[in-house]
Structure 1
Amino acid sequence: MQSEILAQADKQNPTFQVVEVTRANMPLIASWPQTGPTLDGSWPRTSSGTNQSVIQTGDHIDIRIWDSQENSLLTNPAEKSTVLPAVEVGANGAVFLPYVDEVFVRGLSPASARGRIQEKLEAIVPTAQVQVSLTEGRGNAIEMVSGVVKPGSFPLPSRNYKILGAIADAGGINPGLKNPLVRLIRQGATYEISARTLMESGAYNSLLLPGDTVVIEEDYRTFTGMGASSRQTLVTFPKDEINALEALSLIGGLYDVRADPTGVMVLREYTPKQLGSGGAKPNMQQVVFTFDMTTADGLFAARKFPIYPDDVVLATESPLAGLQTLLSIINSGVTTTQRTTALVN
């Protein structure tokens, strides 16, 4: 019951803080630090890149050289062109060409690489013309790991390739995922956003970079529902943010017979760094927020109160429920006694 849980708060040295949530103090509570795993809001915003591909280490380029000279070093009289297939761009960003040695092409578009190769060939084949085609390697691709219909490695078709386009190319988000989160892993940093938020605004349609990894999975954030409610279980967040009224709905509401609507609580734990004094921050690590759901003030306050991951939403038991249980036990004992007496007689 509520009185049993809050008894500790009345002691001289309580081990937790009790806060009655009302419309009056809700703005102050809303300013307190957020707890549990959070979507930090640092998701990279959209930008624009070039519509051309850029050559990277590990890519392969096919080089076709045309030469009309009779005594060409690179072609024979029967064929006016020669092909150097699948020439790999080395770790130093260069490709090897006969009679020329290394030509640096990393960071260039195929058109720019064609011009540079042709320029290098002019010293030995003045009339040469060059064609270049690019096949991207792993260093010029992004990885779609999970949560899509067709996961895999996707070469960047240009430097203007964005995350929504990549998700579409992978067949879209798996429809079986509940409130999916999109995670972008880039050069050791990790960013997260809900798929719903990502698709609501073009500002979040991030430009992808070579080597990016995208992971899509169900929202891992949960809260616990306990006490005199219809469901006592871990509940996954169905959307980015939920309030106390929505949390009660997710655990099936208050149990009609047992629950005390004046004793709904949220148990939350803060870190030592999040504590403060003067009311601007909680003054103890463990805090019990209480709600009176029999008043309009309590209901409106609960509607504004955010539930954070790892919170415990507790519906305490009504004192009448305990009395009813006791009477039921007594009645059961009386009935048993009567039946025993009847059998003896």
Structure 2
Amino acid sequence: MKLTTSKGARALALVALAATVSACGLPRSGPNKREIYAGSVLNEGDAFIVSVNSRVTRATSVMPAYGFGAAFQSAGVVGSDLIAPGDVLAMTIFENVKDDPLLGNTGQRVSALEQVQVDGQGYIFVPYAGKIKAAGQTPDSLRQIITKKLDTQTPDPQITVVRAAGDGQTVTVSGAVTGQGVYPIERPTRTLTAMIAKSGGIAIEPAVALVRVTRGNQTGKVWLQDLYENPSLDIALRGGDEIVIERDQRAFTALGATGAQSLVPFESQTLSGIEAIAQVGGLNTSLADPTGVFVFRNEPAEIANTVLGRKDLRGDQRMVYVLDLTQPTGMFEARDFLIRDGDTVYVTEAPFTQWSKTINAITGTTTAATSLTTAAGG
């Protein structure tokens, strides 16, 4: 009878100790499901808590829209021989006189002008022909103009005009490319993809590469993969264009009972709930509650109204989306639900976890006390 009483007393003492240890606040990775649901609007909180299903997935599947405006797409390819300010021209003039040529020395019928610079206003200077507007002309049309001006001074001059490598029509390529620099628009590099290839190609993963083009006060941006897959996005370039290759800056935060807790960059254009969990090492099998995967997000009013079937919400709304991976279609819903920039993916701990921590704390405390007693008695 005394033995039974002693066992009962020890059990009561154990329960009391467990309650005491639990009340002291054991370490944990964040709020539990009950505490999250306590913040629901239904409980006079300030967040809408919504279970994810196919309707919710469709309503929230919104991704950044990138592309080039009409001004970019309607621009035709620049003529490869069109002269522009900054170009360098080479001219050769043949004169049909032997004794007293206009440009050369006596007996010199051929005169070469190898470095004729087109100035900032688009003009060049040719001896005896004077100042000529070269910008906007092709080499052939410029040849005809110079011939006409010299024809009255030397009989039947024969002239050739060659444009150098298009130094006046250049673009700047920078960012995550192999060879940053200023490149001329030449016949092989008159389009965006050709110019990227000319610069040596990109230096980051194609899946996270964005291509930004600035022309004057207009800017367009596309995914590199979309550029390669959609020929209509391969816009024609113009002198002065600035091309920047940059890494996608979107990221989400992973917290709770996951393999890692950190700020996680996107690794692709679209990222599903399942992929986000996989990126951080999956659920912690010794801690995680697969019924409690939460996505915290500030949702625009338009989407929030659609999700909740309302029309009265104004401004961004705090939304908490719940993924239950134990449901028959839970894995499919998590696979289809898209994570967005700035989301917080939080996995709660399983209910038994705190109890296990409590037992471990009690066991550790008891073991320590026994060791102290033994040492004192020794």
Amino acid at match of 1:296: P
Q: State how far apart, in whole Å, the 1-side matches of 2:189 and 2:240 are.
A: 15
Amino acid at match of 1:21: V
Q: 1:209 aligns with which of 238, 245, 256?
A: 238
Equivalent runs, 1:241-256 vs 2, <5 Å: 241-256=270-285
Q: 1:163 aligns with which of 186, 189, 192?
A: 192
| Aligned residue number for residue 7 of structure 2 | none
Shift of 1:73: 2.3
Deviation sequence 1:139-175 (CA, Å, 0-9, x none): 4111221322222221111386112222222222226
Q: Is the alpha carbon distance of 1:164 and 1:125 closer, same or farther for their aligned partners in structure 2, counting shifts above 3 Å?
A: same
Q: 2:264 aligns with which of 221, 229, 235?
A: 235
| Aligned residue number for residue 220 of structure 1 | 249
Q: What secondary structure, in the 3-state scheme, does the structure 1 residue paired with 2:235 have?
A: coil
| Residue range with higher mean Cα deviation, 269-278 or 216-225 | 269-278
| Aligned residue number for residue 53 of structure 2 | 22
Q: State how far apart, in whole Å, the 2-side matches of 1:40 and 1:148 are.
A: 20
Q: What secondary structure, in the 3-state scheme, does the structure 2 residue paired with 1:86 have?
A: strand
Do residues 9 (structure 1) and 37 (structure 2) align?
no
Q: 1:54 aligns with which of 72, 82, 92?
A: 82
* Mapped contact 2:66–2:223 kept (Cα < 8 A): no
* Mapped contact 2:77–2:237 kept (Cα < 8 A): no
Do residues 296 (structure 1) and 328 (structure 2) align?
yes
Q: Is the alpha carbon distance of 1:227 and 1:281 closer, same or farther for their aligned partners in structure 2, counting shifts above 3 Å?
A: farther
Q: State how far apart, in whole Å, the 1-side matches of 2:217 and 2:360 are.
A: 62
Shift of 1:17: 2.0
Q: 2:353 aligns with which of 289, 296, 321?
A: 321
| Aligned residue number for residue 66 of structure 2 | 40
Q: Is the alpha carbon distance of 1:281 and 1:172 closer, same or farther for their aligned partners in structure 2, counting shifts above 3 Å?
A: farther
Q: What secondary structure, in the 3-state scheme, does the structure 2 residue paired with 1:330 have?
A: helix
Q: What secondary structure, in the 3-state scheme, does the structure 2 residue paired with 1:198 have?
A: helix
Q: State how far apart, in whole Å, the 2-side matches of 1:295 and 1:11 are.
A: 23
Q: Is the alpha carbon distance of 1:280 and 1:11 closer, same or farther for their aligned partners in structure 2, counting shifts above 3 Å?
A: closer
Shift of 1:318: 1.7
| Aligned residue number for residue 14 of structure 2 | none
* Mapped contact 2:207–2:224 kept (Cα < 8 A): no
| Aligned residue number for residue 338 of structure 1 | 370
| Residue range with higher mean Cα deviation, 21-30 or 218-227 | 21-30
* Mapped contact 1:50–1:160 kept (Cα < 8 A): no
Shift of 1:296: 2.7
CA RMSD of aligned residues (A): 2.7
Structure 1: give runs of 5+ residues left out of the alignment: none
Identity level (%): 28
Deviation sequence 1:95-133 (CA, Å, 0-9, x none): 122233221121222222222222232232341121112
Q: 1:312 aligns with which of 332, 344, 349?
A: 344
Larger RCO: 1 or 2 (CA < 8 Å, sep 6+): 1
Q: State how far apart, in whole Å, the 2-side matches of 1:337 and 1:10 are.
A: 47
| Aligned residue number for residue 264 of structure 1 | 293
| Residue range with higher mean Cα deviation, 283-292 or 21-30 | 21-30
Count of residues in correspondence between the two structures:
340
Q: State how far apart, in whole Å, the 2-side matches of 1:254 and 1:65 are.
A: 79
TM-score normalised by length of structure 1: 0.88
Shift of 1:191: 2.3
Larger radius of gyration: 2
Q: State how far apart, in whole Å, the 2-side matches of 1:14 and 1:162 are.
A: 54
| Residue range with higher mean Cα deviation, 274-283 or 139-148 | 274-283
Shift of 1:10: 4.8
| Aligned residue number for residue 124 of structure 1 | 153
Q: Is the alpha carbon distance of 1:46 and 1:335 closer, same or farther for their aligned partners in structure 2, counting shifts above 3 Å?
A: farther
Q: State how far apart, in whole Å, the 2-side matches of 1:119 and 1:52 are.
A: 24
* Mapped contact 2:60–2:303 kept (Cα < 8 A): no
* Mapped contact 1:182–1:217 kept (Cα < 8 A): yes
Do residues 108 (structure 1) and 145 (structure 2) align?
no
Q: State how far apart, in whole Å, the 1-side matches of 2:312 and 2:275 are.
A: 24
| Residue range with higher mean Cα deviation, 238-247 or 60-69 | 60-69
Q: Is the alpha carbon distance of 1:29 and 1:201 closer, same or farther for their aligned partners in structure 2, counting shifts above 3 Å?
A: closer
Deviation sequence 1:9-54 (CA, Å, 0-9, x none): 1565432222211124332333xx55xxx35233755976266321
| Aligned residue number for residue 25 of structure 2 | none
* Mapped contact 2:170–2:182 kept (Cα < 8 A): yes
Amino acid at match of 2:87: D
Q: Is the alpha carbon distance of 1:179 and 1:12 closer, same or farther for their aligned partners in structure 2, counting shifts above 3 Å?
A: closer
Amino acid at match of 2:367: T
Structure 2: give runs of 5+ residues left out of the alignment: 1-31
